[in-house]
């Protein structure tokens, strides 16, 4: 574990005191705190541990709170008896009760362990507050729940999931059978679940403007244990080469942590995402337009984009696929290398770029651009290059990590708190706004979250604090004029700043890339409730089989949006398929809904479930994918899909063909590297 800063997110600023009740905890051996309809938090005053039960079933027990202050590890059992109190609260989550346990000792700082409970919520929220007793607190590790023992199921039945911090470097989610591993560390949120019954326990951070957090699941002597803490830094996960930043002051708060047990872990993950969006409200302006669809140049054209070929793509969208729209428009997004159209570089003549944007609008389409605002791609040319928009040099702006800098993906991070960085953001964004762009794809945002030995703003000491400074400045500069699409970025912390987020790293056309993308949908689909939309990256049809084309298209449709990527300035099989498939109104109805499908199975390791499902209105949809090199038969019981037994037909959304569903099970055959998307229709 490593350290943390106090939270400046004040979701509970509306919290008000209605009544107070205080006793010394030693007055009773156990204290019970109710949450939801049938949840109980039990505090053992002798052991100073917390247990949780739901509907009479023990979910976990034995959890303590732990902090590291000024290099010293302190746990709740380091103190004499706690003082227990409760007060009524009202906030954005509803009416509830806040329970607190206050630990005081002359040799240690005061610890306040809080539990926020709500009668209308199936979860509770916990937090640790450290108060100074006359000395400055310095910490970068604070754990509201440490070494709790999960008790709701036998360890042999349980899975836990590695959830990445970001979607960089082609990282994958990984569902692991708990009795076969020693431990698993997951960024921000942890899950322990039984894939057969789907019963599951979830704990995850709800605030991301100060701390990076983690949940570690441990197989200890065939018992499932977990710890949730803030102050997480690990090179292979958070990309940091140094420890988490240290917070100093008279008071330090952990982030609030969500804790819940669910009969279906998928429902729990969706509620976790929705709760994040309530606790950390979007900073970005409200998106009130239809699901965005369109085209991005990185799919095929890449560095070869110019005015001629991109305007031909515009013509193809306007003339050849006029029904590929949700609402009345689609986006034509220029990725990296749009500066091919700018004479003299970023400080040169943008008139041709403006001409492109105007051309899109004249054809009823919305122009988009791309930028990586917190990176220096020319760092190998030395530190003395002047940054656009100010007299600062890039060398002055580089993010410092000890005696070196933060380099990743070939780019060097620049300090999001540096005035040169912020002036550069203003300069480039103002140029793009002047051109008339209505969408921006922002990339490599993880560089802005890097821990640094020294930020320009000395009040900032952690990567997430720096990220907040940079991203809020960027959103303000955009001034509500563009749809914001985040590509490479932190999974959780970016929810405040973007309308759309790509769910995984880059993907193009092959069945392997489809499977890679859907691994992130399999275990990260719930982010559809954290953002307005999540996206599967550009869909490319060129140079692979029809089955692979169909699978790739379905992977986008069931993720929630649809961005294409072929070179539509030229005719080919890709344009033929686009004309047929991208104007399929049944597919576009699903895209218009804009919500990711749920996975049916969660036991696939680094691979991917073959079946996803969703109910839209009164209609059930199921996507089935065969990633293998041979044809495969599928038998899918309706009950496992969440559909009540009854009389149904199965409609193929690509062919409109329907077949009868017999014995309450869908039986179908898919060819190698192929997929199908179906509607379950009552008969």
Q: Look up the CATH number of domain 11-279.
A: 2.70.98.10
Whole-number pLDDT of residue 126: 98
CA distance 668 to 1: 49
Buried b (16+ CB within 10 A) or exposed e, 175-192: bbbbeeeeebbbbbbbbb
CA distance 533 to 27: 51
CATH 2.60.40.1180, the chain: domain bounds = 599-682
Q: Tell me whether strands 94-105 and 108-118 are parallel, antiparallel or unpaired.
A: antiparallel
CATH 3.20.20.70, the chain: domain bounds = 338-502
CA distance 441 to 302: 14
Maximum distance among all Cα pairs of the chain, rounded to whole angstroms: 80
Is the dihedral angle over the CA atoms 175, 279, 560, 121 positive or is it negative? positive
pLDDT level of residue 5 (50, 70, 90 thresholds)? very low
Can you give the length of the chain in residues?
Answer: 683
362: part of which helix (H) or strand (E)? Answer: helix 351-362
Q: How far does CA 639 lie from the centroid of its chain?
A: 29
Average per-residue pLDDT for the chain: 94
Whole-number pLDDT of residue 346: 87
Options 3.20.20.70, 3.30.420.80, 3.65.10.10, 3.40.50.150; which CATH number does 338-502 get?
A: 3.20.20.70
Options 3.40.710.10, 2.60.40.1180, 2.60.120.920, 3.30.930.10; which CATH number does 599-682 get?
A: 2.60.40.1180
Q: What percent of the chain has pLDDT over 90?
A: 93
Grouping H, G, I as helix, E, B as strand and the rest as coil, residue 627 is: coil
- Segment 255-260 shows an average pLDDT of 98
Pick the range with the lowest mean pLDDT from 17-26, 110-119, 640-649: 17-26
C-alpha distances out from residue 7 to 12, 105, 210, 253, Å: 11, 24, 6, 6
Residue 7 clears pLDDT 50, i.e. is over it: no
Whole-number pLDDT of residue 29: 83
- If one compares 503 and 107, the residue with the highest pLDDT of the two is 503
Residue 302 clears pLDDT 90, i.e. is over it: yes
CA distance 593 to 614: 11
Q: Tell me whether strands 293-296 and 331-333 are parallel, antiparallel or unpaired.
A: parallel
Backbone angles phi, psi at 621, to 5 degrees: -125, 145
CATH 2.70.98.10, the chain: domain bounds = 11-279
Bridge partners of 69, per DSSP, are: 72
State pLDDT tens for residues 448-473: 999 999 999 999 999 999 999 999 99
State pLDDT tens for residues 190-244: 999 999 999 999 999 999 999 999 999 999 999 999 999 999 999 999 999 999 9
Radius of gyration of the chain from Cα atoms?
26
Q: What is the DSSP string of 51-86?
A: EEEETTEEEEEEEEEEEEETTEEEEGGGSSPPEEEE
- Cβ neighbourhood burial of 160 (10 Å; 0-12, 13-18, 19+): buried
State pLDDT tens for residues 51-92: 999 999 999 999 999 999 999 999 999 899 999 999 999 999
Bridge partners of 614, per DSSP, are: 621
CA distance 170 to 629: 23
Whole-number pLDDT of residue 28: 61
CA distance 593 to 615: 10
CA distance 365 to 321: 12
Is the dihedral angle over the CA atoms 200, 201, 207, 213 positive or is it negative? negative
Return the half-sphere exposure (C-beta side, CA atoms, 13 A cut-off) of residue 572: 12
CA distance 176 to 195: 11
- Segment 476-492 shows an average pLDDT of 98
Q: How far does CA 642 lie from the centroid of its chain?
A: 25
Q: What percent of the chain has pLDDT over 70?
A: 96
State pLDDT tens for residues 156-176: 999 999 999 999 999 999 999
Whole-number pLDDT of residue 683: 83
- The span from the first CA to the last CA of the chain, in angstroms, equals 57
The predicted model scores a pTM of 0.94
Backbone angles phi, psi at 394, to 5 degrees: -60, -35
CA distance 561 to 439: 15
pLDDT level of residue 147 (50, 70, 90 thresholds)? very high
Q: What is the DSSP string of 504-530?
A: SS---SSHHHHHHHHHHHHHHGGGGGT
pLDDT level of residue 578 (50, 70, 90 thresholds)? very high
Bridge partners of 615, per DSSP, are: 620
Ramachandran assignment for 422, one of left (phi > 0), alpha (psi -120 to 50 degrees), beta (any other):
alpha
Residue 275 clears pLDDT 70, i.e. is over it: yes
């Amino acid at each position: 574990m490593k350290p943390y800063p106090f939270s400046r997110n004040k979701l509970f600023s509306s919290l008000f005191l209605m009544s107070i009740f205080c006793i010394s905890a030693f007055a009773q051996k156990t204290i019970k705190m109710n949450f939801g309809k049938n949840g109980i938090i039990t505090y053992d005053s002798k052991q100073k541990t917390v247990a949780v039960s739901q509907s009479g079933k023990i979910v976990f027990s034995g959890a303590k709170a732990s902090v590291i202050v000024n290099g010293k590890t302190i746990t709740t059992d380091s103190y004499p008896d706690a003082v227990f109190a409760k007060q009524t609260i009202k906030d954005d989550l509803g009416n509830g009760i806040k329970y607190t346990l206050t630990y005081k000792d002359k040799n240690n700082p005061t610890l306040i362990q809080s539990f926020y409970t709500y009668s209308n919520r199936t979860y509770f929220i916990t937090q640790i507050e450290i108060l100074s007793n006359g000395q400055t607190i310095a910490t970068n590790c604070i754990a509201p729940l440490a070494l709790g023992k999960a008790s709701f199921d036998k360890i042999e039945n349980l899975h836990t999931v590695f959830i990445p911090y970001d979607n960089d470097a082609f990282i994958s989610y990984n569902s692991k059978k708990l009795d076969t591993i020693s431990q698993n560390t997951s960024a921000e949120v942890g899950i322990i679940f039984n894939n057969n019954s789907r019963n599951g326990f979830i704990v995850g951070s709800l605030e991301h403007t100060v701390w990076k957090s983690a949940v570690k699941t441990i197989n200890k002597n065939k018992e499932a244990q977990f710890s949730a803490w803030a102050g997480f830094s690990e090179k292979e996960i958070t990309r940091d080469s140094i420890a988490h930043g240290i917070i100093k002051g008279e008071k330090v708060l952990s982030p609030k942590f969500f804790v819940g047990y669910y009969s279906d872990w998928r429902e729990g993950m969706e509620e976790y995402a929705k709760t994040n969006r309530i606790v950390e409200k979007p900073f970005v302006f409200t998106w009130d337009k239809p699901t965005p669809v369109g085209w991005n140049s990185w799919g095929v054209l890449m560095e070869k984009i110019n005015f001629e070929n991109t305007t031909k793509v515009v013509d193809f969208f306007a003339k050849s696929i006029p029904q590929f729209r949700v609402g009345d428009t689609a986006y034509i997004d220029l990725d990296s290398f749009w500066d091919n159209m700018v004479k003299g570089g970023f400080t040169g003549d943008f008139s041709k770029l403006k001409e492109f944007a105007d051309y899109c609008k004249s054809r009823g389409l919305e122009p988009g651009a791309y930028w990586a605002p917190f990176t220096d791609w020319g760092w190998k040319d030395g530190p003395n290059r002047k940054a656009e928009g100010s007299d600062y040099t890039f060398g002055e702006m580089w993010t410092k990590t000890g005696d070196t800098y933060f380099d990743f993906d070939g780019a060097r991070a620049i300090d999001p708190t540096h005035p040169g960085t912020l002036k550069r953001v203003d300069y480039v964004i103002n140029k793009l706004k002047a051109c008339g762009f209505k969408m921006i794809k922002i990339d490599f945002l993880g560089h802005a979250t890097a821990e640094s030995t020294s930020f320009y703003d000395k009040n900032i000491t952690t990567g997430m604090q720096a990220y907040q400074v940079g991203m809020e400045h960027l959103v303000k500069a955009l001034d509500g004029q563009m749809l914001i699409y985040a590509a490479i970025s932190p999974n959780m912390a970016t929810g405040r700043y973007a309308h759309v987020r790509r769910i995984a790293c880059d993907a193009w056309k092959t069945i392997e890339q489809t499977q890679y993308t859907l691994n992130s949908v399999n275990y990260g689909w719930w982010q559809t409730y954290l953002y307005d939309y999540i996206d599967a990256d550009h869909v490319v049809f060129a140079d692979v089989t029809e089955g692979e084309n169909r699978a790739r298209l379905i992977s986008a449709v069931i993720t929630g949006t649809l961005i294409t990527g072929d070179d539509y300035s030229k005719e080919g099989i890709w344009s033929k398929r686009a004309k047929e498939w991208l104007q399929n109104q049944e597919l576009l109805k699903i895209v218009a809904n804009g919500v990711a499908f749920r996975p049916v199975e969660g036991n696939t390791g680094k691979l991917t479930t073959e079946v996803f499902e969703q109910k839209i209105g009164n209609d059930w949809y199921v996507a089935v994918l065969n990633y293998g090199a041979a044809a495969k038969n599928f038998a899918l019981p309706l009950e496992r899909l969440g559909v009540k037994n009854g009389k149904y037909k199965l409609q193929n959304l690509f062919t409109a063909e329907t077949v009868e569903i017999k014995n309450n099970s869908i039986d179908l055959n898919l060819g190698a590297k192929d997929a199908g998307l179906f509607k379950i229709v009552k008969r």
